[in-house]
Each structure stands twice: as C-alpha cells, then as structure tokens.
Amino acid sequence: MSKRFLLGLLAAILLGVGAFLLGMRMAVHPENQKPGKFPEQMAFVRSTDDVVSGGVMFTSPKQSSKPLMIIWVHGWGANFYVPSYVGIGRVLAERGFTTISVNTRMHDIARPRRSFAA
C-alpha cells in the first residue's frame, strides 16, 4: 500500500474517533430526561381474543390543545416506553398534540418454549 493511502486511512480513523468522542460528550441522552410537564397515563386494552396491549397517553394542556391526536406505533425492535419515544410524546404534548404511544399487537408476548422429550 502506498504511504499516501495509509496516511489518509489513519486521518479518517482519527477523525472518526474524534467525532465519536465529541458526539458522546455533547449528545443529548434520552435516558436523562426530566419528568413530563403534563399528565401521562398508562393505558391497557384487552382484545376479544384476550390479547392485552399497552401504551401511554401524553395529554396536552387544554389551553394549547390542538384538534388532532397523534398515535405513535413504534417499529420493530422497540417499545413505547423507550426513553426516546417517551421524549417524543412529551415534546408533542408540549406543542399541543395529545399523543398515544403504543406497542404493536402481541409485542410483549414471549414465544412459548418447546420442550422436547428425551
């Protein structure tokens, strides 16, 4: 490999590590959130086939409430209660949007373990 390529690679690595460390120092950590300013209420619904689903409702203050409610359904690999989604619900409530954040159907149901006879 050429000397120029190695120097460029080293510079890119150092720049990447520096950016990462700076980002870690300056990043807003969602797990360090302050309590919400407005009512937050846990909600559970049981369907006719006996599946329970959970969520949380972030209520906006009546004086600034908008005539629109937001329903936030997370994607794969998350929960309605992860700090970043809680933060989104709180910010939307502060801006006048009542928000419901929910898990997908059967999200918290574990897969049954199969037992095999020996």
Q: Model-level pTM greater than 0.75? A: no
Interval 2-27 mean pLDDT = 73
Which of the two residues, 98 and 15, has the higher pLDDT score? 98
Using DSSP, state whether 53 is helix, strand or coil: strand
45-79 pLDDT per residue, tens: 888 988 888 899 999 877 777 888 888 887 677 77
pLDDT (average), residues 28-40: 70
Please name which of 98, 104, 52 lies closest in space to residue 79, comparing C-alpha atoms.
104
**Residue 15 three-state SS:** helix
Least Cα distance to 40 among 109, 98, 114, 104 occurs for 98
pLDDT value of residue 24: 55
pLDDT digits (tens, 9 = 90+) for 87-118: 888 888 988 999 999 887 766 665 555 555 54
